[in-house]
Structure 1
Amino acid sequence: MRKALTAILMASAFAAPALSQAADQRVEEARALVKSFGGSLKQALKQAIENGGVVNGIAACNTLAPEIAAQNSKGNWHIGRTSLKLRNPDNAPSDWQEMQLQAMDKQPVVNGKPVEVWQVSDAVGQPEFQYMSAIPTQKLCLNCHGSDIKPDVQAKINELYPQDQATGFSEGDLRGAFVVTYRPAED
C-alpha cells in the first residue's frame, strides 16, 4: 500500500508541470479570444453609434454581440459575457462566475489591467477550463449603462431589454466580465 501511494504521489508531482503548461496555454488562448471578441464588439458598437447615434448602438449591440461571440467561439472554446447587473438574462453567471464577479467588483483593475481569474476542473458537468476577465466601465459605456441616460436611449433599452438591471455605473466600475470556457469533445 505504501509503495502504491508513493508511486501516485510521484506521478502527481511529475504531472504538475504538464498541468501547469496546459493551463498556461489555455490562459493564453483565452486572452486571445477576449482580445478578439472585445475588440470586434467595441469596433462594431462605435461604428453603429457613428452611423445612427446611441440608440442605434443599443440595437446593434443587441444583435451583433451574440453574433460576434459565436464567431469567436471556435471548436471546444466558447466566449460570452456576464455581470452582476444583467442587461440580458441569457448572460446570467454560474455560481463560480458570480463568486468571481463579486471579488472583481471590489477592484476590477490592478496595475492598469483588468483582473483575470481562471480555474481548471475535472468536475462532472463543469467546463474543463474557465477564464474570466473583468470589463471595467469605460466612458463610452456610460451612454447606456450610466446614471444619466437620455430618454430616447432609455426607451430603446426598455424595448429590447425589459428586465434590464445594467444601469447606474460610473467610469471604472465593474461592468461585467468576459467569460471563456473550454470543454473537450464528448466521446
Structure 2
Amino acid sequence: MARTTYTTAVLLSFLSMPAMAQVPPEQTDELVTEARSMVKDFSGSLKKALQAAIKEGGLTNAIEVCNTIAPEIAADNSTGGWTISRTSLKVRNPDNAPTDWQELQLHAMAEKPVRNGKPVETWQVSEASGQPPFRYMSAIPTQKLCLGCHGKSINPEVKAKLAELYPEDRATGFSEGDLRGAFVVTRENPVP
C-alpha cells in the first residue's frame, strides 16, 4: 500500500498502482529513511555548489553549475541500486521530464508543497512489471534564492545564459513558495 504524507497523493497513487508488494512496514520505513537521507545529501551538496558559484561569479555561474555539476552530484549519490534525480511539471532540461506516476504526484504536491514546515513527500512500493520496486518523491518549494533564475522577472544576462544552455527551458515564472519540482529517489533492485 502506498504511504504518503498527504491525502491527494494517496488517491492519485492508488489510481496509478497496478499491484503492490507485501513489504512489512518496518522495511518500507527503512527505504523511506534512506530516500530522505539521499535527498538531504544531494540537496545539501547542490545548494553548497550553487552558493559558491553565485559568490564567485553571480547567477550565470550558478546556471553552469546546474548544467554540469548537478548531474555529477546526482550520479555520485546514486549508488547501491539507488538513483536520485529531479523532475518538474516545468522542466529546464527535457531529460528531467516526469514519468506518468511522477506527474500525478507533482500535480498533487503543487496544491501545497510544504506542510507543517516540511516539503511534502510520497512513496510507493510496487511489484508491478516495469516499475521500480520502490519510488519516493520530495517536493522542492521555490525559495527566494531560486527566483533569480526561475522567477517571473529574470535579468537579461541570466536569460541569455539560460537560452544558451537550456534552449527548451520551461522552468520560469515561479513565485516564492510555488512547487518548483521534486527530488526523485528510486531503488531498482528488488525490495529487501
TM-score normalised by length of structure 2: 0.87
Give unpaired runs (5+ residues) of structure 2. 1-20
Residue type matched to 1:146 in 2?
Answer: G
Residue type matched to 1:31 in 2?
Answer: R
Q: Tell me the distance in 2 between the aligned counterparts of 1:71 and 1:65.
A: 10
Tell me what 1:80 maps to.
Answer: 85
TM-score normalised by length of structure 1: 0.89
Aligned residue among 169, 172, 177 for 2:177: 172
**Aligned-pair identity (%):** 66
Tell me what 2:99 maps to.
Answer: 94
Tell me what 2:53 maps to.
Answer: 48
Secondary structure of 1:181's counterpart equals: strand
Tell me what 2:123 maps to.
Answer: 118
State the superposition RMSD in angstroms.
1.2
Cα-to-partner distance string for 1:137-164 (whole Å, 9 max, x where unaligned): 0011000000010000000000000000
The Cα shift of 1:20 comes to 1.0
Aligned residue among 43, 67, 71 for 1:66: 71
Q: Tell me the distance in 2 between the aligned counterparts of 1:136 and 1:153.
A: 21
1:28 aligns with 2:33: yes
Q: Which protein has the larger Cα radius of gyration, Structure 1 or Structure 2? A: 1
Cα-to-partner distance string for 1:91-126 (whole Å, 9 max, x where unaligned): 011100000000000000001100000000001111
Q: Tell me the distance in 1 between the aligned counterparts of 2:65 and 2:157.
A: 15
Aligned residues: 170
Cα-to-partner distance string for 1:34-82 (whole Å, 9 max, x where unaligned): 0000000000000011010100100111001100000111110000000
Structure (1/2) with the larger helix percentage: 1
The Cα shift of 1:19 comes to 1.8
Q: Tell me the distance in 1 between the aligned counterparts of 2:93 and 2:80.
A: 25
Tell me what 1:106 maps to.
Answer: 111
Secondary structure of 1:179's counterpart equals: strand
Q: Tell me the distance in 2 between the aligned counterparts of 1:46 and 1:123.
A: 41
> After the TM superposition, which segments of 4 or more aligned residues of structure 1 sit over 2 Å from their partners?
none
Query: Relative contact order, CA 8 A, sep 6+: which one is greater?
Result: 2
